[in-house]
Amino acid sequence: MPKKPKGVLRLIAEKCIGCEVCVGECPFDALHMEAGLPVIDYEECKLCRKCVKACPTDAFYVEGEEEAVEEPQAEAISDTEADLQARLRQYSGVWVFVEQSGDQAHPVSWELLGRGRVLADTLGCSLSAVILGDGIDDLAPEAGYYGADTAYIVDDPVLAGYRPQPYAHGCLNLIRKYKPEIMLIGATTLGRDLAGAIATDLHTGLTADCTGLDIDELTRELRQTRPAFGGNIMATILTREHRPQMATVRPRVMEALPRDESRTVEIIREPLGLSEDEIATKVVGFKPDADLDKPNLTYATVIVTGGRGLGSPAGFELMKELADALGGVVGASRSTVDAGWISHDHQVGQTGTTVRPSLYIACGVSGAIQHRVGMQTSDTIVAINTDPEAPIFQIADYGIIGDLYKVVPELIKVANERNLKELLLGKASEAVS
Ligand SMILES: Cc1cc2nc3c(=O)[nH]c(=O)nc-3n(C[C@H](O)[C@H](O)[C@H](O)COP(=O)(O)OP(=O)(O)OC[C@H]3O[C@@H](n4cnc5c(N)ncnc54)[C@H](O)[C@@H]3O)c2cc1C
């Protein structure tokens, strides 16, 4: 038998930390903040107990007992569903976090705006960029050029370098105030750190390393697709009862829109509301990565990848020779990394780097699914393999069935004779043609 609520909602002020989660959860707008504490509007409160369940410090309780009354069960269920839908309807808009460092945006931010534009157009809502930092005004129009309708700016000296606490604080304030239904963040070192902190505080879902993002047109839910079970299946994950729906996406998985300077953006500024002395961590200095030999696979134009078909670590010298002749960098399959032939920095794939070069040459790589998910969106894929049945040929634009030790030296010769390096880097296209 369903229960009819009876009693009065009470707040234990001593327990309240002023996080405002209850205000966001209440489907009836029965709570608002005053002097850092939630105030209950008893006219509006329906005793749905959403705030009681959501409060992280158990600061709410219902005074009085529930009494059993006879009511049709179907009605009770539809009430609960109605509450949920009412709460979800408070959220609207697609947001993309713009990661920046030293006034430069990480390109993944523009890639996410590209996908965000498609999602927002499908939902019929606006696309917004969220930009936090110190002196970051120039990034707002730039976000507009890449597709954003609106830029939320939090500009404060405290945000000069990334620290989780002030960045999460700034994002959480914006999300609680403006209630986006989707929030996308780049799966970079910074983005992974920030996304986890935000999702935890909001008690919402977060799908990491998505390879596909779409809208279910019937339910308006975000379909977040990513490899699961060792990459053997693609799982589509939904965040059914919480908002925003949060996802991270690795660099080069999505495509940025062409930069269009005719596009304009509406700018909304918000204060950070946090001072330096409230932040536990201090930045005492910044040291860039000392390993200058690290390959920049993510944004390379040409990648020459060696697999176990190389037969030995020495085979990577041939890969380097071809990569140099084409102005590219050397990639590797996991088998070669696991065998200790080359460092993990070179690994392409699910547990390595996701790449999207103009030209990807796979030499002696079988094309396992875990490798393919990291390179299959490359513009042109060339595969060299002795086995005509190798799966890599299924996604290759050009397949060469043969021994890489015979084919690659020929490619190096042609590349050098025709100065393909200059052509591919777009520096001497006229001379070559
Ligand atoms: C959870 C998980 C995550 C993984 N993550 C990744 C990842 O990020 N990246 C990744 O690459 N793998 C990953 N793997 C491993 C993946 O499943 C494969 O084992 C691996 O990609 C195979 O590497 P390979 O193609 O170099 O070797 P093989 O599969 O052994 O293929 C070697 C190929 O070389 C060809 N060959 C041999 N001799 C020659 C020759 N002389 N000339 C031309 N061709 C030749 C053979 O025909 C064969 O097709 C992952 C696996 C798991 C379970």
Condensed to tens digits (0 to 9), the pLDDT of residues 191-211 reads 999 999 999 999 999 999 999
Question: In this structure, what token pair is assigned to residue 344?
Answer: 């993990």
Provide the 10 A C-beta neighbour count for residue 432: 13
Calculate helix-pair angle for 404-417, 315-325, nearest 10 degrees: 20
pLDDT for residue 419 = 85
Residue 325 clears pLDDT 80, i.e. is over it = yes
pLDDT confidence tier of residue 323, bands split at 50, 70 and 90? very high
**What is the longest distance spanned by two Cα atoms in the chain?**
88
**CATH 3.30.70.20 domain residues, the chain:** 3-77
Residue 6 clears pLDDT 80, i.e. is over it = no
Instruction: Report pLDDT digits (tens) over 206-232.
Output: 999 999 999 998 899 999 999 887 777
| Partners of 383 in beta bridges | 362, 399
CA distance 339 to 137: 48
CATH of 3-77, one of 1.10.3720.10, 3.30.70.20, 3.40.50.150, 3.40.50.1110: 3.30.70.20
| Partners of 62 in beta bridges | 9
**CATH 3.40.50.620 domain residues, the chain:** 94-276
Instruction: Report pLDDT digits (tens) over 121-143.
Output: 999 999 999 999 999 999 999 99
pLDDT for residue 107 = 95
Helix, strand or coil for residue 207? strand
Residue in 48, 15, 14 with CA at minimum distance from that of residue 31: 48
Percent of the chain with pLDDT strictly greater than 90: 69
CA distance 178 to 248: 20
C-alpha 314 – ligand 1 centre gap (Å): 17
Residue 430 clears pLDDT 60, i.e. is over it = no
CB of 230 shorter than 6 A to ligand 1:
yes
Residue 406 clears pLDDT 80, i.e. is over it = yes
pLDDT for residue 217 = 85
**CATH 3.40.50.1220 domain residues, the chain:** 302-432
Helices (H), 124-205: 139-145, 164-178, 189-202
Mean of all residue pLDDT scores within the chain: 90
CA distance 285 to 290: 15
Percent of the chain with pLDDT strictly greater than 70: 92
pLDDT for residue 291 = 62
Residue in 317, 302, 313 with CA at minimum distance from that of residue 335: 313
pLDDT for residue 8 = 82
Locate the ligand 1 atom nearest the alpha carbon of residue 369 and give its number: 17
65 vs 375 pLDDT, higher one: 375
pLDDT for residue 426 = 67
- Name every residue whose Cβ is closer than 8 Å to that of residue 225 and which is 6 or more positions away in sequence: 210, 211, 212, 213, 214, 234, 235, 236, 237
Ligand 1 site-directed mutation target among 234, 371, 400, 406, most atoms within 8 Å of CB = 371
CB of 173 shorter than 6 A to ligand 1:
no
Q: Give, using CA atoms, the residue closest to atom 43 of ligand 1.
A: 385
Averaged over 399-416, what is the pLDDT?
Answer: 97
Protein fold of 94-276: Rossmann fold (3.40.50)
CA distance 291 to 389: 39
Q: Give, using CA atoms, the residue closest to atom 30 of ligand 1.
A: 308
C-alpha 366 – ligand 1 centre gap (Å): 5
C-alpha 420 – ligand 1 centre gap (Å): 28
CB of 228 shorter than 6 A to ligand 1:
no
Quote the radius of gyration of the chain (alpha carbons, Å): 26
Protein fold of 302-432: Rossmann fold (3.40.50)
- Using alpha carbons, list the distances in angstroms from residue 385 to 121, 364, 393, 396: 43, 5, 9, 11
**pTM beyond 0.85:** no
Q: In degrees rounded to 5, what are phi and psi of residue 310?
A: -65, -30
pLDDT confidence tier of residue 293, bands split at 50, 70 and 90? low
CB of 390 shorter than 6 A to ligand 1:
yes
CB of 100 shorter than 6 A to ligand 1:
no
Residue 347 clears pLDDT 90, i.e. is over it = yes
Secondary structure (DSSP) of 333-361: -HHHHHTTSS-GGGBBSTTSB----SEEE
C-alpha 188 – ligand 1 centre gap (Å): 25
Instruction: Report pLDDT digits (tens) over 265-290.
Output: 999 999 999 999 999 999 888 887 66
CB 310 within 8 Å of CB 336: yes
385 vs 82 pLDDT, higher one: 385
